[in-house]
Structure 1
C-alpha cells in the first residue's frame, strides 16, 4: 500500500486533486521523494523503538505505542486489514482474543512481501498473505484455548511489504458487553482490564475506532479512552462505515471529524474499508483502496475532508506514522534516563546475588572449599571476638554478670540460714561446750545446702549462653549459604548436633563442679588471708545483711559472730570460685570448643558429601539471578542503542 500525503506536512506543500490521484498510484517522482524522506527522517525512530521492544525492554519500562481499541463490529479489523494489506480474523463477537502487535515495514523493492508471527516462544515464517488469518487464529487458540476466551499474552506479527507504511500498532480485543455462550460472565470486565493495561500508559497513543452510524458520545471505546486521557491529548479517533450513514446526518459527521463536537488534540480521521459484500465478492485490498479514494472524491459532504487530509486509509497511515514518530521523539530522552537509572539499580542488585557456582569440577571443589573456609573463619572470629559488629561478648558478659549477681544475692539468705542453725543449736543441742563451738558437720551441711541452690541457676546461665551462641552460628550459616539450601541444611544439622553434644558435656562439667564444691575446701593460706583482709568489712557486711532480714545485729553473741564471719568468709571464697569457674566452663565448651568442632566437621564435608549436591542453588535465587542478568543485558543493549541514536 502506498502512502498518500495531503494537507500540511513539514517540508511538503498541499497536493492538488490531480496530484493526489497520481500519487495514489505510487508512480510519481514526488512519491519516491516522500518515501526517501520517511526512510531518512522517520524510519530510524520507529526502528529504534521496535528494536527495544524486540529485546524485551517493555518488561522494564513503557515504550511509545499505538493501541487500537473499539467496540465489537466497529470496523477495527477492516482498518487494520487496509493498513497491513493482509486479511485478518473477522466475524461477529470476539474475534481478537489476544493483543496483536502488528509491525509493518515497507520493503524497498516493489513486490517484495514476507511475514513472521511469534508468540510464547514460537516463531514461524509466513510465505502467503492469504495464510496470515489462519496463523493468527492458530496462535490465539494456542494461547487462549479453542472457543471465545481471551488471553493477555502478546502475538507479534511482522509484515514486510512494498505496499505498507512503516508503522507499529497493537490491536486489542473488541469491547464486549454481554457474554455469549461459552464465555465467562465477567468477560466484559476481563476485556476492559486488558485494554486499560495498554491504554493507561502515558507513552501510548490511543486509536479509537467508531462507526459513523452510531452516536460517538455513547461508544464504550471513546469513554474508556477519555477515562485515561481526559484532555484527549493521547487520543486519535477513526470513523468507519461512512457508506452506512442515514441520509441527512452527513454534516454531523463532518463536524465531528473537524473536531467541533468532542475535542481531541490529535483529531479525527474517516475511512471507508471493504464491507462484507466486497469481501464476499473477493474485492482486493488494492481495489478497495482505489474505491475508497473515489468514494470521498465524489461525496458531496466528505470531499472536503479528503482535501483536508482527514479521509482515506492512506492519509490515516501517514498521520499515524507521524504521530508515532512525534511521540517517540518526545519520549526518547525520558526513556534514556529511565534506562540509565534502572541499569544502575540492576547492577547493584545483581552484585548482592554474586556469581553462581562454576561448572568445571575442579573449580567447583575450590569454590566449595572457599565457601566452607569463609564460613568457618567467621565462626572462629566470632568465638575470639574478632567479628566487628557481630560481637558475642557483650551479651555473654551480661549473662555472666547476671550469674555473679545471683551469687551476691545469696549472701543474705546464707546469713539468715546460718543464724537460724546457730540459734537452734544454742537452744537445743549445746552441751557443756563454750558458746560458738559448733560441730564441723553442721558447717559442711550449711555450705552444701547453699551450693545446691546455685546449681540450677548455673545451668540456666549455660542455657541462655547456648541460645545466644548458636543463634549467631545459625545466622552466619544463613548469610554464607543463603543461595545453597542443601549446604545450609547440612550446616544447621552440624550446628545442632554440636549444640546437643556440648550442652550435655557442659551439664556434666557443671554437675561435677558443684559436687566438688560439696567438699568444702580451700587452701589454708587462702582462707586465713581472706579472714585477715576482710574481717572488719565482712563482719559489717554480715551485720547489714542481718539487719536487712530484720534481725537484731546487737543480739549476735561474740562467738556466734565469729562463726558467721568464718562461714561468710568461706562463702566469699566459694562464690569467687563459682563466679569465674562457671562462665569459664560455659564459654570454653559452648563457644570456643564448639567453634573448633564446627570448623573441623564442615571441612570434613569435602570427603563425606557430593559437592554437586552441596552447591545446588535455591531455585528462587537461581531464577532471580538469571532474571537480573537478563535484565542487565536488555538494559545495557538499550543504553548502547539509545546512546548511538542520540549521537
Structure 2
C-alpha cells in the first residue's frame, strides 16, 4: 500500500478536542491522520523532499528563495532552550545565556543504517538582510568557523558556544559604545545518524522586555528581527509562552497574533511543572477560557528539562506523570508533551514543504535565468588584447547598427530621443522659420499695386518719409497713420521697415558726399547687407548647438543599450561630439566671414526678375496716383495751366531716375532682391552641408565609433577603453557564484520533483495487478 503525504489543508483539518476527549479511532488498514503525524517522514517522497530542502539550504539557496522552516520565538527565560533540547536532543546550555545572543538553526537528518553519527557546526548568513536593523560592523571571521564531531555533550557545547560568541560572532556585552550584545549571523548545527529524525528548526534570540545591560536600540532591533521572521509566509512559527507567568504579561504572544496567520502559528506552554495556577493554563489550552481566542492548531503543553535533574532524568516519563494528573489530563493527549509536539511539527513542516516545493523550484529557475541574463550583460572577462578587441568590436557593431537605424528608419526605435533623423528634420524646419521671420535686422517694404483690391500682405505698404528735399507722397501729406518704431527690450523681431528706410537715407547721404547728387553709389550695398544679416551667425550657431545636443543625447541613449561598455565608451563619443561641434561652428564662422567680405554680386537670373518686378510695381503705383490727380485737375479747371504744370513736376520728381525718392527705392529693392536669394542659400548651406556633416562625419559620435576607429588605436588605448573596474569584476564573480549555487539548487529541486511525482493511474493499476 502506497503512503500518502499530508498536505497543509489535511494537517489543518486534524480536529482539536477539548477536555479529556481523545481522537476517534479509524478502522481499516489505511493509516489515520494521527499515525501520519506521528511518523511524518515515513514515506520515501517526504524524505526526498526534506533532503532536497536541506541541500538547498546547504548551497545557500535560502539567501534567494523562500524555504519553509520551523521558527521558535519567545521571551527571555521562557524556556526556549529547554524546549529546543527536548525537540532536538542537543544539550543546549540552559541558563547559560549565550545561545540567546544569535539565531540558531538545527537540522537533523536520518542516515542509512550502520552509518555513524556526526555533528557539524558552522556559522552562516541569515535568511534576509539584517544590517539595517543592527548596523553592526561586519568584521567578525564567522565564515571561518567549522566544528565536526560524532557526539556533543553539554560541557563541550557550552565551551563551543562561548568560543563562537566571543571569537567568531564578536559579541561584547555591555552598554558601552563599542558593545555588541547580539549577532546577525546564524549558528547552523547539523545532526545526522541512523537514529536521528528528519527535522529542521530555527531558534532566534528571545524577546527583550526591558533594556537591562543592553542598548535600547538593540532591544528594538531584536523585536524587529523577530517580527521579520514571523512575517515570512513560509515560516511555521512556534510561539513559546511561560506557563509560570501570566499570558497577558508576555508580549511575544501578542506579536505573534498580530504578525502570524493562524495556519502558521503553533502556541506552546513551557514550564508547565512550574505553573502557579495550572487551572488557568489548562483553561487557555483547552479553550475553556473564553477570554482567549481558540487557536487553529490548538495549544501544546510541555515540561522543561532542568539542568540539575541528572543524566538519568527521563523527560518522557516526567511529562507522562505530570500531564496524566489533573488538571492537565483535560488537555487533549496529542497536545501533551514534547514528543507529541515534535511529531506534529514534523507533519506540519512536511505538508508545508510539499505545498511550497513546486513554487520554490520555479523561483530557483527564475532567479537562475535572471543571473544568466546578468552574466550576459557583464560579458566575458577581458584578460588580453585580443579578448579586449573582440569585446569592443561586438559592442561597436551593435552600436553602429542602431546608429544607422536612427539615421535611416528612426521610427522603428523605441525611445523618441533615439529617432535622430526625425528630430534633426524638425530642428532644420525650425531654423528655416527662425531665419525667415527673425534673420533680418529690418523688415523690408512689400510693394503691391494700389489700384487692385487684393488684401495687403503686411502693414509695410506706406512709403516712409523721404530725406530733406524730396517731394512727399499724397498719403503722407493727408496725415496717414504712422506706427511707432519703439521695440520692447526682450523683442528679437526685426525692426520696422521705416527704420530700414531711414538707414538707407543715412547711407545715401553719407556716400553722396564724394559724388554728384541723385546718383546711387554701389558701395552702399555691402554696408547695408552686413547690417541686414548681422543676426545670421547667432541664429545659426544656436541651431547647430541644439543639433549637437540632440546628437549627443541620441548617441548616449544608443550606447546605453550596451550597459557593460557604457562607462568606458561614453567619454569617447562625448569627445567626438565636442570635436564635431567645434568643426561645425568653425565652418559657420568661415561662411559668415566670407559672406561679409565677398563682392556684392550674383549671376542668378532670379535677382533681375525680382528687382524688375519691384521697380514695375512702384512705377505703376506712382503713375496711377498722379495721372488720376492731374486728370481731375485738368478736367475741372482746364485753364489752370500753373496747377497742371506743378503736377507734372511732382510726377517727374517721383519717376525720373535722378529723383531722391527713386534712389532710395532703388537701393531698397536691390538689397531686398539680393537678401531674399542669399538667405535661402545660407539656410541650405547650414542644413545640407554643416548639419549633415555633423550627422555623417566619420569622426563624429555616430559614425565615428566604428571598427575602423578601433583598429586605429594602440594596444594601450584599447586596454584603457576595454578595461574593467574592480566593481564589475567583483560583480561578475558574485554573479558566477550565485549561478553555481542556483544551478545546483535547480538540479536538486528538479530531481526531488521528478522522484516524488505521483504515478499516473494506469501505472498504479499495473503495479498493483503485478503485485497481486
Q: Which category describes the TM-score, using the shorter chain as reference length?
A: 0.7 to 0.9
Partner of 1:544: none
Name the CA distance, whole Å, in 2 between partners of 1:466 and 1:540: 50
Contact 2:530 2:596 in 1 (8 A): no
Partner of 1:591: 695
Query: C-alpha deviations, 1:453-509, integer Å up to 9, x for none?
Result: 4222222222222222233233334433x3236622541453255246425532443
Name the CA distance, whole Å, in 2 between partners of 1:112 and 1:624: 36
Partner of 2:743: 633
Contact 1:403 1:461 in 2 (8 A): yes
Calculate the aligned-residue CA RMSD, in Å. 4.2
Contact 1:535 1:565 in 2 (8 A): yes
Contact 2:101 2:183 in 1 (8 A): yes
Name the CA distance, whole Å, in 2 between partners of 1:35 and 1:426: 117
Contact 1:7 1:13 in 2 (8 A): no
Q: How far is 1:94 from its partner?
A: 6.2
Secondary structure at 2:169 match in 1: helix
Query: C-alpha deviations, 1:243-265, integer Å up to 9, x for none?
Result: 3234xx33443333334334212
Partner of 2:537: 455
1:84-103 equivalences in 2 (<5 Å):
84-91=88-95, 95-103=99-107
Partner of 2:229: 198
Secondary structure at 1:173 match in 2: coil
Q: How far is 1:327 from its partner?
A: 2.7
Secondary structure at 1:117 match in 2: strand
Q: How far is 1:85 from its partner?
A: 1.8
CA gap of 1:611–1:632, structure 2 versus 1, over 3 A, is farther
Partner of 2:269: 239
Match of 1:258 among 264, 269, 286: 286
1:159-174 equivalences in 2 (<5 Å):
159-174=191-206
Contact 2:442 2:500 in 1 (8 A): no
Q: How far is 1:603 from its partner?
A: 4.0
Match of 1:139 among 150, 160, 164: 164
Query: C-alpha deviations, 1:296-336, integer Å up to 9, x for none?
Result: 3764544565x823323222221221122233333345545
CA gap of 1:105–1:513, structure 2 versus 1, over 3 A, is same
Aligned length: 602
Q: How far is 1:40 from its partner?
A: 3.1
TM-score by length of 2: 0.68
Contact 1:435 1:559 in 2 (8 A): no
CA gap of 1:505–1:37, structure 2 versus 1, over 3 A, is closer
More helix per residue: 1 or 2?
A: 1
Name the CA distance, whole Å, in 2 between partners of 1:184 and 1:540: 103
Name the CA distance, whole Å, in 1 between partners of 2:568 and 2:112: 60
Match of 1:522 among 602, 608, 611: 602
Contact 1:494 1:601 in 2 (8 A): no
- 1:356 maps to 2:380: yes
Structure with bigger gyration radius? 2
- 1:365 maps to 2:389: yes
CA gap of 1:523–1:259, structure 2 versus 1, over 3 A, is same
Query: Mean Cα displacement is larger for which, 496-505 or 316-325?
Result: 496-505
1:226-625 equivalences in 2 (<5 Å):
226-229=257-260, 232-246=262-276, 249-261=277-289, 262=292, 263-278=294-309, 281=310, 283=311, 287-293=313-319, 295-296=321-322, 299-302=325-328, 308-335=333-360, 342=366, 346=370, 350=374, 353=377, 355-357=379-381, 362-376=386-400, 378-379=402-403, 382=406, 388-389=412-413, 390-409=418-437, 410=440, 412-415=442-445, 416=497, 418-424=500-506, 437-480=519-562, 482-484=563-565, 487-488=568-569, 490-492=571-573, 494-495=575-576, 498-499=579-580, 501-503=582-584, 505-516=586-597, 518-523=598-603, 525=605, 527-528=607-608, 531=611, 557=661, 560-593=664-697, 594-595=699-700, 597-599=704-706, 601-611=709-719, 614-616=722-724, 619=727, 622=732, 625=735
Query: C-alpha deviations, 1:186-240, integer Å up to 9, x for none?
Result: 332211111111111222222122232222333222222111236x332222222
Partner of 1:180: 212
- Give structure 2 stretches of 5+ with no counterpart: 1-21, 125-142, 174-179, 446-496, 622-652, 656-660, 759-772
Q: How far is 1:159 from its partner?
A: 0.7
- Give structure 1 stretches of 5+ with no counterpart: 1-5, 16-29, 542-553
Secondary structure at 1:452 match in 2: coil
1:203-222 equivalences in 2 (<5 Å):
203-222=234-253
CA gap of 1:293–1:9, structure 2 versus 1, over 3 A, is farther
Contact 1:414 1:450 in 2 (8 A): no
Partner of 1:126: 149
Contact 2:59 2:741 in 1 (8 A): no
CA gap of 1:646–1:583, structure 2 versus 1, over 3 A, is same
Contact 1:89 1:96 in 2 (8 A): no
CA gap of 1:569–1:635, structure 2 versus 1, over 3 A, is farther
Name the CA distance, whole Å, in 2 between partners of 1:524 and 1:67: 93
Q: How far is 1:68 from its partner?
A: 0.7
